Amino acid sequence: MRDLQSRWLIGASMAALAISGFSGGAQAQTGEATPMQGGGLRVEAGRDPTKPTGALNATQVAQGVSDQDIVVTGVRESLRSAQALKRNANQIVDSVQAQDIGKLPDANTTEALQRITGVQIQRRYGEGATDFDHRTSPAITVRGLTQVQNFLDGRAIYSASGGRAFDLEGIPPELLAGIDVYKNAPANIIEGGVGAAVNLRTRLPFDKPGQTISGTIRGNYYDRADKFGYSTSGLYSNRFDTGIGEIGFLVNAVYSTSYYRQDGILANPQQPIPAGSIAGAPANAKAPMGMQVYDDLGDRRRLGVATAIQWRAADNLLITGQYQLAKYWFNRRGAYFYTVNGGSQSSPLPGSNFTFNKDGYATSGSLQGQNFESGRFDQQLWSQSQNFTLGADWQATDRAKVHFDVQYLKSYYNADRNGHVLTLFTATGQNTTTGSPHPSTIDFDLRGSRPQWDVRDKALLTNPANYATPYIADALQRNDADTLALAYDIDYDLEGGFLQKLRGGARYSDNSINLRGTWNGVCLYATGPDPSCSAPDGTALIPLSRNPQLAMQGPSKNFFDGRTVTGGLLYPAFPAGDGVWAQTKALYALFGAKTKDAFTPGDLNAQTEKTYTVWGAGDFAFTAGGVRFDGGAGVRLVKTDLTSFGTQFNSNGTTSPLAVQKSYTRALPSVNIRARLTDEFQMRFAYSKGLARPNFDQLSTNLTLNNPNQVNPITGRPSASSGNPRLNPISSDNFDLTAEWYFAPTGSLTGGLFYKKVDGFLASGVVVQNFQGRAYDVSTVLNSGKGTIKGAEIGYQQFFDFLPGLLSGFGVQANYTYVDSNVTNPFAVAGSGMSTQLPLEKLSKHNYNLIGLYEKGPLTARLAYNWRSSYLDQTFGAGTNQPQYAKPYASLDASVSVNVNSHIALSADAVNLTNRMNVTYIGTIGQPLQYQLNDRRFGLSLRATY
């Protein structure tokens, strides 16, 4: 009977095993590391290791004991389990483990990732996050690449923003047991990232014996916003012996609210000053075209729920059902006060005192003829992801293990936005050259620890009689997405010899996404609202005095530490209303204008994407020259079928539906080899080929054909514009070589070299396509960029147990990453002087973490310093033809926790202790662009576990 079962299982998996190489794959399709322990045994989380059915959890790896002995608490234990996972995995993986239930080491999921070597994060709105207007760009990069695959408990997930990444900042960190980063994924890992794969792990009821009850209450203070936020979380887990087998149940829920304020000062790009206007100025002297204020504040709310039911239906069958909910609200008020000076020369005040740096850029001085406008753009985002999964792990025979998995992911992403402008002009066509009714003289000083600028006539900026209301705007976004994924995987153990195990599997996914977005703007004239903004010069604007309620005092209290625009200014205000959209409609009604409340064909795109995957792999082990080797190799074969639905807009005003199909198949080989030179020292080599599909918003299609009789004089063809669903995925060849010395349970010194060759980066371009019998020059997005990323990583951690007494509680974590990248500049134009090669955006060449630890008795403390070197922020930024860079940035965070008794713990923490200023610059560090200050965050929490 056993032989019949084995033959049936092997036959059912023949398609997958037929392509089998020999891979160091781990748990089929889950993205979790499989430690090679006990002859490569794979053990389900929470199961007895003598009854293998799935993947060993990190704590079991660390301790090498059964689930009945596991108690995961404290920094020391979290470091030990993370180290053991890295040491015993069949692939290159780094992890962050929760110190206890509901306690990742950082208060933000994105911020916890920055502690891992090779990972860099973006900071926006007071914490690790992505920019609101670039939601499809992830907040993290791994080894310089943003194309990072996201998993939740080993299953692929993404948000409905239009990108491929999951909105990590929307996940409450209290929901997670740990985070794993796979930097060179083998064949069993779901494809989708050329940078890495990030797996968020929640808890299961079989992770621990018996009943567990845990709750946390936390309060936070945000010093710049001067507000208090809070979070509350609770977990209940229990296991029951029943007549139908052991059943476990777990529910974990989190709700939090937080605030932020982000103060910014901007210096407009510097231009040459008129000859002779400043005595003693250098020959290459330049000065800013003007100065700006960027005053941003808002709040976030997060709701997270993770539930799980596990049923041990038989000794050889475990069934697991999970449901996860992540709901996120983000409200933002972005207020700006900016100059609108034209021309190509700056306007220094004659006779004023200026200072210049060695590059000829002004560092202080006075500017005349400054004309200001004030803008406010409110944004309200609410998004949700629900993940329903059902998995079965069946030990079919003593040598064959089967995993079945069903996943349904459902998401939406909604946003309301508006715009409202006040101006110190009174009619259209007014500018610096023609004359303006309310010019200002300003003094600026960019030297010292904090830049500052101010106007000389302070009353001018606060007088409502000086302002007019020239423009309003509105925008809606309503996206939704869903995925159905089915997976079947098999592991088959072999007895002895070189080949240890065969693995294989198949996966099918059906993705649907609907993108819906509007943008609408209306110019306001004394003659009435005009969506075309076509009034002739000299047309009077509507004075603010008609609607004085549409202005509010600014900037925020103690803005930029109280030394800029000290007399105040006016920001736009919105009428009262319940939410951004209600306020926007009330604003439009005041002026007799209409918001765009419905989506038109040009606002819509729908896509379906189906993937068909088979993979095969095998593990091997052998001894050569007295050295033990193990690992594996394999291949993943993936077919992708995409259809993008949109609209074709013809030059005669007619439209027609448009559907573009794209299909491609890729083979993704991989190999992992480990050499165990001693019991403590090992080396690895890994190679894999990866792919990252373009974002959904880049694959959207709406085609606009312009007048066929208006042709480009060079090409002789008319023009058109379109999205590009014909894009190919970005591909990469990934190489890793590591050396790992594990000299203590929480002591290790590891290093690695990596190299990535990437092809298919996306950039704007023009292709020739035929429509209606004519060839058009179509402006679109193309696969046109190539690049290489190479670097090195080193990490060290240790508790100094050998020291006497209280000193034995000290420990340290440290890691450093060097990454050098070289990619095609998509904006380089022949003769422009721009470099044809640039580093990757958002990538610092140098990055390190230095963390001091202390854990002794009831006391746990942590002091964490993160530093990153300067980096390319935008290839084509700040309205200039020059790259925009960010200066080096550092953050110092601290936490301390005291266990009052075995059940109760009090914790305090602080983020951004040094109140570090972010600085960006244009082209060269001598031409600063933006200075930014964020909140310092102070928290206090009470946690109880029983």
Interval 748-764: pLDDT, tens: 999 999 999 999 988 88
- pLDDT value at residue 785: 81
Dihedral sign, Cα of residue 423, residue 426, residue 428, residue 430: negative
Binned at pLDDT 50, 70 and 90, residue 535 comes out as very high
Nearest C-alpha neighbor of 6 from the set 494, 506, 450, 521: 494
Q: Average of pLDDT values for 640-661?
A: 95
pLDDT at residue 65 in the model: 33
Give every strand in the sheet of 148-152, ordered side by side: 93-97, 178-182, 196-201, 148-152, 155-156
**C-alpha span between 601 and 618 (Å, rounded):** 50
- Mean pLDDT within 893-899: 94
pLDDT of residue 137: 73
Q: What is the pLDDT of residue 56?
A: 31
Q: Does pLDDT of 36 surpass 70?
A: no
pLDDT at 43: 29
pLDDT band at 880 (very low <50, low <70, confident <90, very high): low
Please name every residue paired with 242 in a beta bridge, in sequence order, or none if there are none: 245
Secondary structure in 3-state letters for 621-676: EEEECCEEEEEEEEEEEEEEEEEEEEEEECCCCCEEEEEEEEEEEEEEEEEEEEEE
Region 682-688 average pLDDT: 97
| pLDDT tens digits, 4-15 | 334 333 333 333
What was the pLDDT predicted at 13?
Answer: 39
Q: What percent of the chain has pLDDT over 90?
A: 75
Q: What is the mean pLDDT of the chain?
A: 88
Dist CA 745 CA 747 (whole Å)? 6
Whose tokens are 């400043």? That residue is 278
Mean pLDDT computed over 631-640: 96
Q: What is the pTM of this model?
A: 0.88
pLDDT category at 573 given cuts 50, 70, 90 is very high
What does the alpha-carbon distance between residue 665 and residue 630 come to, in Å, rounded to a whole number?
A: 30
pLDDT for 268-278, tens place per residue?
Answer: 999 999 988 89
pLDDT score at 105: 75
**N- to C-terminal Cα separation, the chain:** 47
- The amino acid that residue 379 corresponds to is Q
* pLDDT, tens digit (0-9, with 9 covering 90-100), for 119-172: 988 888 888 887 766 666 778 889 888 899 999 999 999 999 999 999 888 889
Percent of the chain residues topping a pLDDT of 70: 90
The predicted-structure confidence for 115-125, as pLDDT tens digits, reads as follows: 899 898 888 88
Distance, CA of 247 to CA of 241 (rounded, Å):
6
Residue 42 confidence (pLDDT) above 90: no
Q: What are 392-445's pLDDT values in tens digits?
A: 999 999 999 999 999 999 999 999 999 999 999 999 988 877 678 999 999 999
Closest-CA residue to 850 (of 896, 803, 808, 797)? 797
pLDDT score, position 20: 36
- Min mean pLDDT across 366-370, 474-478, 614-618, 761-765 is at 761-765
Q: Which residues contact 8 (CB under 8 A, 6 or more apart)?
A: none
Task: Using the predicted structure, report yes or no on whether residue 37 has a pLDDT greater than 60.
Answer: no
Residue position matching structure tokens 């002297």 = 285
Q: Is 136 exposed, middle or buried (0-12, 13-18, 19+ CB in 10 A)?
A: middle
Return the amino acid letter for 418. Answer: N
